[in-house]
Amino acid sequence: MSKIDFQHFTLDNGLKVVVHEDHSVPKAVVDVIYRVGSKDEEPHRTGFAHLFEHLMFRGSKNIPSYDSPLQRAGGQNNAFTTADVTNYYLSIPSDMLETGFWLESDRMLELALTQESLDKEKGVVIEEFKQRYLNQPYGDAHLHLRGLHFQKHPYHWPTIGKEMSHISDATLEDVKEFFYGYYAPNNATLIVAGDVSYEQVRSLAEKWFGPIPSRNLKKHALPQEPPQTEARSLTVHGDVPFPAVYKMFHIPPHNERGYYIADIITDILANGRNARLFRRLVREQQLASSISAYPWMMHDPGALSLDGRIAANSSIEAYEAALQAEIDDLQNLTESDLNRIKTKLEAIFMLNQTTILNKAMGLALSDALGDIDLVNTTPEIYQSITLEEVKNTAKHIFDPSNCSTLYYLPAEK
Amino acid sequence: MLDRTKAPEASMLSPRPLPGFKTVALSNGTPVHLLQYGSVEVAEIQVVFRTGTAYQDKIGQARYTASNMGEATASFNNQQLAERLDDYGAWISNDTAQEFISMNLTSLDRHLPHTLPLLQEVLMAPAFPEEEFNNMKTRNLQRLQVESKRKSYLARRQFGHLLFGPDNPYGAHLGPDELQQLELADIKAFYQKHLQAGNWFITVVGKFDEEKVLKQLDELLGKQQLEDKSGLISRAVTATDLLGQGRHLIHEEGMQSALCVGHIGFNRKHPDFDGMSFVNTLLGGFFGSRLMKNIREDKGYTYGIRSAWVSGKHKGYMIISSEVGNEYAESAVEEIRKEMNKLRTELCTEDELNLVKNYMLGSSISQRETPFQMGSLIRFAIIQELSFDALNQKHPKILSLTSHDVLRLANHHFQPDNLLEVICGNPV
């Protein structure tokens, strides 16, 4: 399999810069990842990291509008916030690369925050909260489930925030404090990929990012999640046509081998039409109309989700009994079942390499996780996982005392 | 001293012509369009049929025929087929649109000798087992019942019904009631009539061994007698349009209202197509559009708003959609109308004109990055009867637009006083 070749260097202010050359199309990607996410928020002021991501587009110290100059140069951008990181990325014709450096460095230097821009952006985020979580069937399921699954760790609340009032109450001072505590060259990595050269990136990085001072980062120890010792459950009602069952299990953090084993287990269970739960519970026994399983990419010990929507003529009891039978049946997994998953994962890695943005983001997320080489070693980790490891890990993860369940039921009329 | 207030120089981008593809014929005359693209050794093979939702007698017929073809074949039941594909890390998928159905194989080049025969099975010998059809129908009925709780879905469906009519291919929308009516016999009949050799062409895009692929395609798909399917007619040509206007409210409880606002437009052959695609981008087609700036960034009514100027092979329309807080629904529609009127009465600045031009040219680089995107583009060009030479005219045309052109185009084609406005929610 082809590797993603990259070089890197670090500026005096602590900013790590990674360069990946790919000259197949005349485009460059500039990705800045900050090691700050919703886990860094305080319990009574949640949703901040994400609100802040929005504010980063409201203009910086020397540039009143972020988007327009980028669009004028033929570029486009977006960003996302997770519990662990905030990632900003832009694509731009490679001739215009310097515009990307100019924009990203100025907003790392200082934002132009005003009460007015804060108030407007709060409105947008509140509408996002409604559109994505509150005004959709089952949209708030994970809002409830996370709180049940993580009781001590700040993964307890979702990235959008625990409640809308935390966003509407945010003050300008809160927001500024957040910026200086976390947005700093020594808390970020810059990835430049595509039709660029190492020398060019080196000189542009020194020119635009070099003068930004390193900052004293806000350091705080996160409360760690104690081991779960008994099964938990919660029932909620909403305007939905069918009951649904959401389960979460504790798994190791993203940079540990156990995470990758958990990922393979979710592929065996629910990824693709050959996956066991889909084939047996959805197609053959028709106990559920859809099932999905996936690990959450978290830097601290995280979660594996198993979400099922109950079929019209089925019941929660029948679904849960069949689910348990399938979990038990993982102990009968064969080498050829496992090899099939590995072949598929190899193809997925190759397909992911068809865009520069995917490669840049892979570098960014791996580096934020603490090991940039993961971008290339991940396929090898998957290939090295043994049948015994899968069976043992499955036994451990799916222990009933390791599980939190949310029952989402149609509202009684 | 570094002057951070000054932007690095941004020049106007120049148009980049599309890479030419090669066309050859299999022994039986089937056209194959080939393009080597990208550095990853993967190929996508599309077998594209000249049919689609505009050719169906019953709503859902085209889409469900395509998806059931991939369920099981004469030689492989569902599980065997899925396992075979997994063994080679390959996928068979389908795309159904108004004017085409495409069956696609995505495979590593080195596995094609094993995976291409599976695509041939799916095309030539689908088994259409009753049980698979019924299960798929039950599952999707439930999915559509959940969808029917989404205000954006309800508004979009009603918009199509009111603008074109529920029986018009441009207005038809598969909902739970329509799916309930669909039978296996409908699927089999559609397959027999529409998805046959002779009604198709093939595209191969990626990094692949051309000689080997062509030899294999000829063995698998180049020997059948081609049937004459020229008599199949798109209903889009004959359908009448309802042309609904005015305010239509669907009352649903909740925190937000979904809006769909728009009117009739023109088809892909209209000389103003490229111009209107520019005007639409300016109005609501990208993150920096006027609607986004006004309704999201300035007013904070919504998380997002977008407009689309849709030009199909036979008809077209404009649609603006958004989800806004219930208390903002009325003002949002008012602002939409204002923005349309503004484009019809005020010249845009040179700066804005150049910004949108460069944005469109720049983002086209990302739209042509992968072999999959190029495969879709070749398919689009052939179905729409446009050559790559014709598509290459788009960017020079856009670059030549002046603010007076924009004013003329908006004036001519926007109809803010004849808007169809569908609002689903609980507006106050």
**pLDDT tier, A1 (very low <50, low <70, confident <90, very high otherwise):** low
CB contact at 8 A, B143 and A240: no
Query: What are the residue boundaries of the structural domains of chain B, listed by start?
Result: 22-236, 243-425
**pLDDT tier, B231 (very low <50, low <70, confident <90, very high otherwise):** confident
Separation of alpha carbons A263 and A294, rounded Å: 7
Residue range A199-215: mean pLDDT, rounded? 97
pLDDT over 90 (residue B10): no
Q: How many CB pairs under 8 A join A and B?
A: 214
- Which residues of B fall within a CB distance of 8 Å from A2? 39-40
Residue of B258, B280, B273 whose CA lies nearest to B148 = B258
Secondary structure class of A219 (helix, strand, coil) = coil
Same fold, B22-236 and B243-425: yes
Cβ burial, residue B164 (10 Å; 0-12/13-18/19+): buried
Contact state of B142 with A309 under an 8 Å Cβ cutoff: yes
Q: Are strands B200-206 and B42-49 parallel, antiparallel or unpaired?
A: antiparallel
Strand partners, A188: A34
- Which residues of A fall within a CB distance of 8 Å from B369? 25, 27, 354-356
The residue of A51, A268, A274 whose CB has the most chain B CBs within 10 angstroms, and thus the best one to mutate to test that interface, is A274
Residue A409, number of CB atoms within 10 A of its CB = 16
> What percent of chain B lies above the pLDDT cut of 70?
100
For residue A379 the two structure tokens come to 């396929």
pLDDT of residue A2: 76
What would be the CATH architecture of the domain defined by B22-236?
Answer: 2-Layer Sandwich (3.30)
> What percent of chain A lies above the pLDDT cut of 90?
93
For A168-201, how does the pLDDT look when each residue is reduced to its tens digit (9 = 90+)? 999 999 888 988 999 999 999 999 999 999 999 9
| The one-letter amino acid at B419 | L
- Which residues of A fall within a CB distance of 8 Å from B323? 127, 130-131, 135
pLDDT of residue B11: 87
What would be the CATH architecture of the domain defined by A7-208?
Answer: 2-Layer Sandwich (3.30)
Domain A232-410: state its class: alpha beta
CB contact at 8 A, B218 and B391: no
User: CATH number of the domain at B243-425, please?
Assistant: 3.30.830.10
Query: CB contact, 8 Å: B354 with chain A?
Result: yes
pLDDT over 80 (residue A165): yes
For residue A183 the two structure tokens come to 């947005």
**B316-325, strands of its sheet edge to edge:** B246-251, B420-425, B256-264, B316-325, B302-311
SS (H, E, C) chain B: CCCCCCCCCCCCCCCCCCCCCEEEECCCCCEEEEEECCCCCEEEEEEEECCCHHHCCCCCHHHHHHHHHCCCECCCCHHHHHHHHHHCCCEEEEEECCCCEEEEEEEEHHHHHHHHHHHHHHHHCECCCHHHHHHHHHHHHHHHHHHCCCHHHHHHHHHHHHHCCCCCCCCCCCCHHHHHHCCHHHHHHHHHHHCCCCCEEEEEEECCCHHHHHHHHHHHHCCCCCCCCCCCCCHHHHCCCCCCCEEEEEECCCCEEEEEEEEECCCCCCCCHHHHHHHHHHHHHCCCCHHHHHHHHHCCCEEEEEEEEEECCCCEEEEEEEEEEHHHHHHHHHHHHHHHHHHHHCCCCHHHHHHHHHHHHHHHHHHCCCHHHHHHHHHHHHHCCCCHHHHCCHHHHHHCCCHHHHHHHHHHHCCHHHCEEEEEECCC
Query: What are the residue boundaries of the structural domains of chain A, listed by start?
Result: 7-208, 232-410
pLDDT over 80 (residue A204): yes
Closest in B5, B297, B368 to A120, CB measured: B297
**pLDDT tier, A105 (very low <50, low <70, confident <90, very high otherwise):** very high
The residue of B68, B297, B399 whose CB has the most chain A CBs within 10 angstroms, and thus the best one to mutate to test that interface, is B297
The DSSP code sequence of A365-398 is: HHHHTT-TTHHHHHHHHHHH--HHHHHHHHHHHT
- Which residues of A fall within a CB distance of 8 Å from B299? 120, 123
**Stretch 163-222 of chain B: residues touching chain A, C-beta under 8 Å:** none
For B367-384, how does the pLDDT look when each residue is reduced to its tens digit (9 = 90+)? 999 999 999 999 999 999
Same fold, A7-208 and A232-410: yes
For A85-100, how does the pLDDT look when each residue is reduced to its tens digit (9 = 90+)? 999 999 999 999 999 9
Query: CB contact, 8 Å: B358 with chain A?
Result: yes
For residue A345 the two structure tokens come to 């994962």
Contact state of A96 with B362 under an 8 Å Cβ cutoff: yes
> Residue A73 has what DSSP assignment?
T
Helix (H) or strand (E) holding A309: strand A302-310
For B334-348, how does the pLDDT look when each residue is reduced to its tens digit (9 = 90+)? 999 999 999 999 999
**pLDDT tier, B230 (very low <50, low <70, confident <90, very high otherwise):** confident
Residue range B64-75: mean pLDDT, rounded? 96
Strand partners, A237: A409
